[in-house]
Structure 1
Amino acid sequence: MAKLNFGGVEEEVVTREEFPLEKAREILSDQTIAVIGYGVQGPGQAMNMRDNGLNVIVGQRKGKTFDKAVADGWVPGETLFEIEEALAKGTIICYLLSDAAQIELWPTVKKHLTPGKSLYFSHGFGITYKEKTGIVPPADVDVFLTAPKGSGTSLRRLFVAGKGLNSSFAVYQDATGNARNKCIAMGIGVGSGYLFETNFYNEVTSDLTGERGTLMGCIQGIFAAQYEVLRANGHSPSEAFNETVEELTQSLMPLVAENGMDWMYANCSTTAQRGALDWWKPFRDATKPVFEKLYESVKSQNEAEISITRNSQSDYREKLEIELAELRDSEMWRAGKTVRSLRPENA
């Protein structure tokens, strides 16, 4: 493993240089990788592994998602099967359904986890909260995860562009003595940039915090707050949206991703620089208590309980649509739709 220095803290990571694709192919050469679920992570991971020369099949129920898999080049009866048939054929079971769906399907999956097989996750939820989910793998199978730090869509887009999305990896159970190598090989196979080690508990607690925090929940909250303040003070929807969202996502964040926030501060106007330096700490101090409350809710398993209970309700999809409509129909995101349509590439 390569040693990297993160601001004085050393960490060992796995890079493509020390663990090249050829090595991953060799380790997985005798494996049939069955991707169960073709929703959020499934398409990106499955197609990346296929393009990387691994032996991949997809298990998916008939319907729109099955048809999407066909459109992506998976061939019914050859590389695309009903879930149970894929489970029977697979030696590495990639369990990429939603957390709620994993709970529902677990009795079926468990039947096919014969000795020597591997169970692969991209999230620590099912295993970490096994008392709530009932997901307890047999002792004679390997259990590990690779968790790309982004959506399956981003994973695929970066792969096609010749880049990679960083991923965490963890081994929960090593029944064969080769779980770690298979885990890292899978991480390389799905198109990771580099891999950093974690455990199932840390993966799920950081992931649930991030999703509810700066990745989605917090960012929507601060977008809405700034937009509403600007509109309340007479700014037009176009001005409010551009100053709140468009400039950040289209101009600043790509540069931050390339060079870091310190570089951004050093390379903006002196007026913007002074304001950003003066205000970032008050924003940190205002939001840190919320993050602490959020982390405690994750740590206490309250967030897991909410997810399992609500996401398993029979009318979940109907309720979800109402909540999503609140976002979609808000003035800010209606303004966003109009602004996006006016970008030069969409004109």
Structure 2
Amino acid sequence: MAKLNFGGSEENVVTREEFPLSKAQDVLKDEVVAVIGYGVQGPGQALNQKDNGINVIVGQRKNSKTWDKAIADGFVPGETLFEIEEALERGTVICYLLSDAAQIAVWPTVKKHLTPGKALYFSHGFGITFNEQTGIIPPADVDVFLVAPKGSGTSLRRMFLQGRGLNSSYAIFQDATGRAFERVIALGIAVGSGYLFETDFRKEVFSDLTGERGTLMGCIQGIFAAQYEVLRANGHSPSESFNETVEELTQSLMPLVAENGMDWMYANCSTTAQRGALDWWKKFRDATKPVFEDLYKSVATGVESQKSIDSNSKDDYREKLDAELAELRESELWQAGKTVRSLRPENQAVEA
């Protein structure tokens, strides 16, 4: 483990240089990694482990869409694909990658297969941190840890296939065997992490829920909508409004930030853009910081987790979710986006 300095603050991180794949393979050579759930994170993590030579099996409900998806991805019924309970019995490491609501429902089945020495692996601190709401309390004689890739399972898989790694956090909640650290780091490397930084279950879920509701999804959609609506109200066309609000940000500026940082992106814009950005960023910070403080409080007090459990546990939650998503999908903002994306050069047919 290395200590890296991040702007004056030291953090414990593990890189692929100090913990190469060969070491991860050696640590996991006698393990059977059972990936339970094949929805958001499951496919990427399972396939990356499989390609990295780890003995991985998938546990999923038979004859479901995700069962069929696992078969299409190369998992073989009776060999590497099993019903959930059989996979739980076979696995020595249980990668519990069901949705938060599904984890609550399936937990009694999982718990009875957590025999001494096994490991329970999460990619989210939700179930453990909010155990008064979820009822997920592991037995004392198993390792409990998490690896949380900082992106979707789709991104994890795509970057793996490109020979890149998606950074992940790791945390150990319970070390029953004395091997929790080497097991969690080996799994983090095997699923395709770039580097792994240390956290704990509470911090992981607090930061994750804040990020999802904040800059990653909720805030960015709100800011997009606000700027687009102001431009449209002042006579700008849908195309101009969308390009100035979304397209230039995602296609031009954010890649520069990802490559070299915000300061570098600023320095490579026009002086007019630099002046405006420097004059206005603190105003946006000061305007939105109270919202983020309210958001973090709502996460830390369990309000957000309870809302999630209550809504996602209902039988009709998928139908209600789709109806809410339709508001975004059918809005002029994202209808304009659909048209603009279709006009990108890579999406245009070229005559021979």
TM-score range, shorter chain: over 0.9
Partner of 2:227: 226
2:192 counterpart of 1:191: yes
Instruction: Find the aligned partners of 2:9 and 2:133 in 1 and give their Cα distance.
Output: 35
Deviations 1:186-240 (A, max 9, x none): 1001010000000000000000000000000000000000000011111111111
**Residue 275 (structure 2) aligns with:** 274
> Which AA in structure 2 matches 1:285?
D
Query: In the alignment, residue 50 of structure 2 is paired with which amino acid?
Result: R
1:246 is the counterpart of 2:228:
no
Question: Helix, strand or coil: the match of 2:215?
Answer: coil
Normalised by the length of structure 2, the TM-score is 0.98
2:44 maps to: 44
Match of 2:339 in 1: 338
The separation in 2 between residues aligned to 1:8 and 1:136, in whole angstroms, is 37
Counterpart Cα distance in 1 of 2:269 and 2:210: 31
Question: Could you say what secondary structure the match of 1:168 adopts?
Answer: strand
In structure 2, the residue matched to 1:302 is 303
Equivalent positions of 1:163-174 (< 5 A) are 163-174=164-175
Check the 8 A contact 2:11/2:198 in 1, yes or no. no
Structural mapping, 1:120-269, within 5 Å: 120-269=121-270
For the pair 1:9 / 2:9, whether they are aligned, the reply is yes
CA distance in 2 between partners of 1:330 and 1:251 (Å):
24
Once the two structures are TM-superposed, the CA of residue 126 in structure 1 deviates from its matched residue by 0.2
Which position in structure 2 is the counterpart of 1:64? 65
Local SS of the residue matching 1:115: coil
1:12 is aligned with what amino acid?
N
Secondary structure of the structure 2 residue equivalent to 1:243: helix
Amino acid at match of 1:22: S
Local SS of the residue matching 2:248: helix
Residue type matched to 2:14 in 1? Answer: V
Matched residue type, 1:26: D
- Aligned equivalents of 1:267 and 1:318: distance in 2? 45
Name the residue aligned to 2:18: 18
Q: Which amino acid aligns with 2:313?
A: S
Cα deviation, residue 2, structure 1: 1.6
Whole-angstrom distance in 2 between the partners of 1:79 and 1:114: 21
How far apart are residue 12 of structure 1 and its match? 2.0
Report the Cα distance in structure 1 between the residues aligned to 2:245 and 2:347, rounded to whole angstroms: 21
- 8 Å Cα contact 2:44-2:157 kept in structure 1: yes
2:334 and 2:79 map into 1 onto residues whose CA distance is 43
Q: Aligned with 1:114: secondary structure?
A: coil
For the residues of structure 1 that align with 2:148 and 2:215, how far apart are their CA atoms? 18
Give 1:51's aligned amino acid: D
Q: Which SS does the other structure have where 1:166 is aligned? A: strand
Segments of 5+ residues of structure 2 without an aligned counterpart are none
CA positional deviation for 1:3: 2.0
Q: 1:8 & 1:203 partners in 2: Cα distance?
A: 21
Q: What's the CA shift for 1:318?
A: 1.2
Q: Is the 8 A contact 2:33 2:94 kept in 1?
A: yes
What is the alpha-carbon distance in structure 1 between the residues aligned to residue 192 and residue 213 of structure 2? 25
Kindly provide the amino acid, as one letter, of the partner of residue 262 in structure 1.
Answer: D
CA distance in 2, matches of 1:307, 1:335: 31
* Cα shift at 1:315: 1.4
* Counterpart residue number, 2:27: 27
* 8 Å CA contact retained: 2:101, 2:313: yes
1:55 aligns with 55
Match in the other structure for 1:101:
102
Question: Normalized against structure 1, the TM-score is what?
Answer: 0.99
SS of 1:244 mapped into structure 2: helix
Q: What do residues 250-308 of structure 1 show as CA deviations (whole Å, max 9, x unaligned)?
A: 11101100000000111100010100000000000000000000000001110011111
Instruction: Tell me if structure 1 keeps the 8 A contact 2:60–2:67.
Output: yes
Which residue identity lines up with residue 37 of structure 1 in the other structure?
G
Q: Aligned with 2:94: secondary structure?
A: strand
Matched position secondary structure for 1:318: helix
- 1:48-103 superposed Cα distances (whole Å, 9 cap, x missing partner): 11111100000111211111111111111111111111111111000000000000
2:35·2:57 contact (CA, 8 Å) conserved in 1? yes
Q: How big is the shift at 1:9? A: 1.3
Residues paired across the two proteins, number: 347
Give RMSD over aligned pairs: 0.7
How far residue 4 of structure 1 moved from its aligned partner, in angstroms, is: 1.3
Deviation per residue, 1:301-329 (Å, 9 max, x gap): 10011111111111111110110000000
Letter in 1 for 2:259: E
Of residues 2-11 and 16-25 in structure 1, the stretch that sits farther from structure 2 once superposed is: 2-11
> Structure 1 stretches of 5 or more lacking a match?
none
